Amino acid sequence: MTATLARARTAAVLAAAAGVVFIAVAPRARSAGPPPWPVTFVDVAERAGLHFPSIYGGLEQKRFIIETNGAGAALFDYDGDGWLDALVLSGTRLGEGTRTELSWPAGQEPTNRLYRNNRDGTFADVTEAAGLRRTGWASSVCAGDYDNDGRLDLFVTYFGHDVLYRNRGDGSFEDATARAGLGSTDARWGSGCAFVDYDRDGRLDLFVARYLSFDLASAPEPGKGANCVWKGIPVNCGPKGLPTDTNLLFHNEGNGAFRDVSAASGVARVAGRYSMTAAAADFDGDAWPDIYVACDSTASILYRNNHDGTFTDTAVLSGVAYGEFGAAQAGMGLATGDYDRDGRIDLLKTHFADDVPALYRNLGGGLFEEASVAAGLGVLNRYVEWGAGMPDLDNDGWADLVYVTGNVYPEIERHLPQYPHRGPRVVFRNLGGGRFEDVTARSGPGATVPHSSRGAAFGDFDNDGDVDLLVMNMNEPPSLLRNDYAGGNGWIEVKLVGSRSNRAGVGATVVATVGGWKQARTVLSQSSYYSHDDLRAHFGLGPASSVDMIEVLWPSGFRQVVKDVAGRRVVTIEEPPEPAGAK
Amino acid sequence: MRALALALLMPLGLAQNTPEASGLLAEARALIDAGKPAAAVEKLRVLDAAADPRVAYLLGVAYYHSGDPARAIEPLAAAAPKLAPGSLERREAVQVLGLAHYLAGHVAESIPFLEQTREAMPDSIELAQTLATAYAQTGQPAKARESWARAFQVAPDSAAGHLLAAQMMIRVGLEEMAEAELKQAVAKDPRLPRAHLLLGQTALFRGRLDEAVALLKAELGVSPGEAMAFHLLGDAYSRQLKWDEAVVALQKSIWINPYFSGPYILLGRAYLKKGDTAAAEGMLRQAVQYDPNNKAAHYLLGQLLQQTGRPDEARKELETAERLPGAGER
């Protein structure tokens, strides 16, 4: 009953709350209503060859919280051919009525899947050849080139033991966990992760979030505890009432090994949180990478970089810990982008049903204001929201919003049909002036056909200049939502190659100036929900055919400017090497 | 709800004077009555619950009072049919079984036992409330309304019956069900106070702002002095970024009821967005003064102070906000 009453209180608070934020940006110059929405999503996963389901817990009921959270996906170019490949994570399942994992017939064990892009709209399953077959409760993936060999490596977190996969460059990965010093004897629940060069030495360090401490053997059954009932219906217990864990930070020693600096850096000092997705970028504009962590049912964390190898959690002071009125929210996914075109990185954080996503507008100087209701996002609050992005779907120069949905209690919809197990991929179009419009119903079958989704990776898998989505679905094959954009707006995608910075440019901020407007993007190792997006920064140019200026704020601190760049192509910007003797 | 369930247990009386009870059973009963149910469980464990329904019954009652309703169900379910019909023991077993099912989250299973108990306790408003909540949570709004109507002593099919049922449904987070009840209330009596207000509040919660404004204005047509209607109207206008209209509505709410912190908080927000930081700070400080335990008031004041360059003062307010309980969980 406690959970039921608490939920009712939440509803009361939301109902009484006043979500108002004035967005001090120039309105979009439009005399009439917005033009037709030219974006149609079509799910091409099956025809593209993305066949395998991601097994994740029970189908009709989730008895334990480990079955509910699902996992992420990645769009990344593992073979360096200029085409995005697809990684989809998987969990496993418990035996009927048991607390032990199901025994699968040999060869049919659920596994993470890597699909190589055939460059013709289809993919080939290369999981075996890549050495990525593994069965377990996978959570999240983050990518980065931690050994600066020009090839993207992977880190995958688990309920169990996390794995570092080093890209050998021959189409395969090796499990480098033990050699890197990242192995552990005790099983923990890894959630978000991010490669981040927090000390700006040119090598990617590793941040790993922990969701909570969970003991399957002693976990209560649904309904058997104060936090095991939702709206009067018995459901799996938690996260409230379950013990929290602390997050980890590992320093890249440069010899293939990492050193645990969780305590020394202050990362482990932040306690009492259910940490989920992590995104590492320069959120306060001081040219040093910070780490933002969406936290479930507790205050979210902003690890602000102190420039000396340590971090301080400034989320509360910065205005990104809570909702607009200071209440903790069930933070799960997050997106970064510049929805108001002021050149600063804003944040979107997704939440549970009966709540709306938080849209944190970056005011500069490390301060944010919550703007979700004022932005028009309050019109939908029935869905549990997960993977999210701020892509410019129609290339008009304004970042739109997308989040995927799916309830964590499949059994609920039998009693409360207004909380469906499967939900849409919600699309909000940016109207300018800080306002968004729900255009889900006009975004094609890929958006409206319901699924219980979790991770979502954003990127241009067919290299046609618009942003597509790869979505992890619970107990289903993934969705590959091809964006069939029907307009004529220009675009550009910026690929970074670091030299003073890490090779992949992870952690960089790219600002494009077009027609006097600035648009900022970050190059992230993880975002959305437990997922990894295309590392190429995509910009819509509207009617323009070129970019006036591209400014790259490299993770090394170096600022690089490139002017008059033609659009409708992928451009590569290489960071100049440090002058001899400069360091 | 557990406190309510405990209150519900008291009128039934206890079975310690049952002549056929053994000494051990009497001791266990006494321990339960003395608030030591765990000790009663220990005492009863040496007896064979399977062989004697009185043992199983007391064991179930003891588990229930120990805060383990799920464990109480099995012995109570086994014992209840074997106890003498009409006996106090049987009535208590059935009652506790219903409550145990309810508290364990087996809401549908709880209903037959709670209904049986109602026959023995027709005037118990606690039972009527529990039963009504169970009916609502199992998607039976008409039966829920009947039960609440008994508790509130109104006709179940009257406008008041629909309104009260809706209010209680909102309490347990069943807004859609409540909305249907409220529409029936308004259809039966368009001038029923609070019906439009609750409909407006639900529309506001679901982000249907134009509808919320219209409903709240309708409420003010019925109850022109309803401070909460002005407050929610100000809230709706704020979400529409209509700051001037919001300020007027919120100010009216404060004039009618100056002791409610809600409109001060929203006025603080509105003045901040209008660029009048001094007025915003004044309103938020008044909210804190009237309601020192209001997390939102401290939090917004802290954010304002931070944004206006007073980080030390901001930190104090934000620390206070963090110490205060708040909503927000999955």
Q: Is A294 a residue whose pLDDT tops 60?
A: yes
Task: Tell me whether residues B104 and A234 touch, CB distance under 8 A.
Answer: yes
Q: Is A14 a residue whose pLDDT tops 50?
A: no
Q: What pLDDT shows up at residue A580?
A: 75
3-class SS at A274? coil
Task: Tell me whether residues A20 and B307 touch, CB distance under 8 A.
Answer: no
Any chain A CB within 8 A of the CB of B204? Answer: yes
* DSSP codes, B234-295: HHHHHHTT-HHHHHHHHHHHHHH-TT-HHHHHHHHHHHHHTT-HHHHHHHHHHHHHH-TT-H
Residue from the list A8, A297, A363 with its beta carbon closest to the beta carbon of B328: A297
Residues of B in contact with A369 (CB under 8 A): 303, 307
In this structure, of A359-363, B101-105, B167-171, B290-294, the range with the lowest mean pLDDT score is B101-105
Task: Tell me whether residues A231 and B206 touch, CB distance under 8 A.
Answer: no
Selected for mutation to probe chain B from A1, A62, A428 (highest B CB count within 10 Å) is A1
Share of chain B above pLDDT 90, in %: 76
Task: Tell me whether residues B295 and A326 touch, CB distance under 8 A.
Answer: yes
Nearest CA in chain B to A409: B330
Q: What pLDDT shows up at residue A582?
A: 61
Q: What pLDDT shows up at residue B20?
A: 45
Residues of B in contact with A6 (CB under 8 A): 327, 329
Residues of A in contact with B2 (CB under 8 A): 1
Q: Is A48 a residue whose pLDDT tops 50?
A: yes
Any chain A CB within 8 A of the CB of B1? Answer: yes
Task: Tell me whether residues A379 and B107 touch, CB distance under 8 A.
Answer: no
Q: Is B327 a residue whose pLDDT tops 90?
A: no
In this structure, of A13-17, B45-49, B74-78, B196-200, the range with the lowest mean pLDDT score is A13-17
Q: What pLDDT shows up at residue A30?
A: 42
Task: Tell me whether residues B327 and A6 touch, CB distance under 8 A.
Answer: yes
What six digits make up the tokens of A544?
Answer: 């323009």
Q: What does the pLDDT look like over A56-99, one tens digit per residue?
A: 999 999 999 999 999 999 999 999 999 999 999 999 999 999 99
Residue from the list B172, B176, B270 with its beta carbon closest to the beta carbon of A418: B176
Number of Cβ pairs < 8 A linking chain A and chain B: 171
Confidence grade of residue A417 (pLDDT, cut at 50, 70, 90): confident
Do you know the residue count of chain B?
330
Q: What does the pLDDT look like over A231-274, one tens digit per residue?
A: 878 899 999 999 999 999 999 999 999 999 999 999 999 999 99
Q: What pLDDT shows up at residue A323?
A: 95
- Which residues partner with B28 through β-bridges? none
Q: Are A482 and A99 in contact (CB under 8 A)?
A: no
Q: What pLDDT shows up at residue A224?
A: 77
Task: Tell me whether residues B170 and A17 touch, CB distance under 8 A.
Answer: no
Q: Is A230 a residue whose pLDDT tops 90?
A: no
Confidence grade of residue A225 (pLDDT, cut at 50, 70, 90): confident
Q: Is B189 a residue whose pLDDT tops 70?
A: yes
**Minimum distance, in Å, between the CA of residue A358 and any CA atom of chain B:** 13
Task: Tell me whether residues B327 and A10 touch, CB distance under 8 A.
Answer: yes
User: Where does residue A256 rank: exposed (0-12), middle (13-18), buried (19+ CB within 10 A)?
Assistant: middle
Q: Is B330 a residue whose pLDDT tops 60?
A: no
Residues of B in contact with A373 (CB under 8 A): 207, 239
Q: What pLDDT shows up at residue A32?
A: 57
Share of chain A above pLDDT 70, in %: 94
Q: Are A19 and A378 in contact (CB under 8 A)?
A: yes
Q: How many CB atoms lie within 10 A of CB A493?
A: 21
**Minimum distance, in Å, between the CA of residue B16 and any CA atom of chain A:** 30
Residues of B in contact with A438 (CB under 8 A): none
Nearest CA in chain B to A416: B139
Decide which of A27 and B227 is more confident. Answer: B227
Mean pLDDT over A568-575 rounds to: 98
Q: What pLDDT shows up at residue A34?
A: 67
Selected for mutation to probe chain B from A10, A20, A324, A383 (highest B CB count within 10 Å) is A20
Q: How far is the CA of B124 from the CAs of B5, B153, B188, B330, in angstroms?
A: 11, 12, 28, 34
Decide which of A417 and B130 is more confident. Answer: B130
Q: What does the pLDDT look like over B40-83, one tens digit per residue?
A: 999 898 888 888 899 999 999 999 999 888 899 999 999 999 99
3-class SS at A387? strand
What six digits make up the tokens of B310?
Answer: 């007073």
Q: Provide long-range contacts, Cβ within 8 A and 24+ apart, for B139-147.
A: B139/A415, B139/A416, B139/B177, B141/B165, B141/B169, B141/B177, B141/B180, B141/B181, B144/B168, B144/B169, B145/B181
Mean pLDDT over A499-512 rounds to: 98
Q: Is A13 a residue whose pLDDT tops 70?
A: no
Task: Tell me whether residues A234 and B105 touch, CB distance under 8 A.
Answer: yes
What six digits make up the tokens of B55?
Answer: 């043992």
Q: What does the pLDDT look like over A400-412, one tens digit per residue?
A: 999 999 999 998 8
Share of chain A above pLDDT 90, in %: 87
Mean pLDDT over B94-118 rounds to: 92
Q: Is B14 a residue whose pLDDT tops 90?
A: no
**Minimum distance, in Å, between the CA of residue B45 and any CA atom of chain A:** 22
Confidence grade of residue A11 (pLDDT, cut at 50, 70, 90): very low
Mean pLDDT over B106-119 rounds to: 93
Residues of B in contact with A19 (CB under 8 A): 238-239
Q: What pLDDT shows up at residue B153?
A: 95
Mean pLDDT of chain A: 92
Q: Is B105 a residue whose pLDDT tops 80?
A: no
Q: For chain A, state the CA radius of gyration.
A: 22
What six digits make up the tokens of B1?
Answer: 């709800």
Mean pLDDT over A480-503 rounds to: 98
* DSSP codes, B37-103: HHHHHHHHHTS-TTT-HHHHHHHHHHHHHTT-HHHHHHHHHHHGGGSPTT-HHHHHHHHHHHHHHHH
Nearest CA in chain A to B139: A415
Nearest CA in chain A to B230: A16
Task: Tell me whether residues B173 and A7 touch, CB distance under 8 A.
Answer: yes
Apex A428 CA angle, A424 and A431, nearest 5: 165
Residues of B in contact with A228 (CB under 8 A): 105
Enclosing H/E stretch for B118: helix B107-120
